[in-house]
């Protein structure tokens, strides 16, 4: 008798794609839903330092997703978003492969949020889409065209 390993069923929803194109030097432009975002490298990495690096954008996507989820929680429970902010720091691994080794997020909570609501706020914010994606990584395929 042959036993197959249980596979996790994941429902998926197709989303609009992004397009990344070379600009100059080490700069690239990301086009998404009519928006344009520039990424570059610092001068010491051969870039013109004209925009954040892809790694900085990765960390920023996590921080802004946390802020979004926290903001929705606050609104849903009748609290102001005034003063809501997320500070973020990160460290790079010194071994290979090149990667972010650690991210530290600090959620600055508006003054009107009572202490007894903060644990729930933290739980909601720590399960944003980007965080969930990092902790349960997607399958990544790279094709050449």
Tell me the per-residue pLDDT of 40-75, one tens digit each, with 9 for 90 and over.
999 999 999 999 999 999 999 999 999 999 999 999
Which residues are within 8 A (CB) of 84 and not within 5 positions of it... i.e. 6 or more apart?
67, 70, 71, 74, 107, 108, 109, 110
Structurally, at CATH architecture level, domain 53-135 sits in 2-Layer Sandwich (3.30)
φ, ψ of residue 6 to 5 degrees: the values are -70, 130
Domain ranges of the chain: 17-51, 53-135
Rounded distance between C-alpha atoms, residue 68 and residue 23, angstroms: 30
- What digits encode the pLDDT tens for the residues 94-119? 999 999 999 999 999 999 999 999 99
Q: What is the dihedral of CA 137, 61, 144, 141, to 10 degrees?
A: 10
């Amino acid at each position: 008798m042959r036993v197959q390993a249980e596979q996790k069923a994941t429902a998926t929803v197709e989303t609009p794609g992004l397009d990344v194109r070379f600009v100059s030097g080490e700069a690239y432009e990301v086009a998404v839903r009519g928006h344009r975002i520039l990424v570059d490298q610092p001068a010491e990495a051969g870039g013109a330092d004209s925009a954040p690096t892809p790694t900085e954008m990765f960390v920023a996507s996590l921080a802004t997703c946390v802020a979004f989820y926290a903001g929705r929680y606050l609104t849903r429970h009748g609290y102001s978003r005034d003063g809501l902010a997320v500070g973020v720091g990160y460290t790079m691994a010194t071994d290979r492969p090149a990667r972010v080794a650690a991210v530290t997020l600090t959620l600055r909570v508006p003054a009107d949020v009572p202490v007894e609501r903060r644990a729930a706020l933290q739980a909601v914010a720590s399960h944003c889409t980007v965080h969930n994606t990092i902790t349960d990584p997607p399958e990544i395929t790279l094709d050449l065209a």
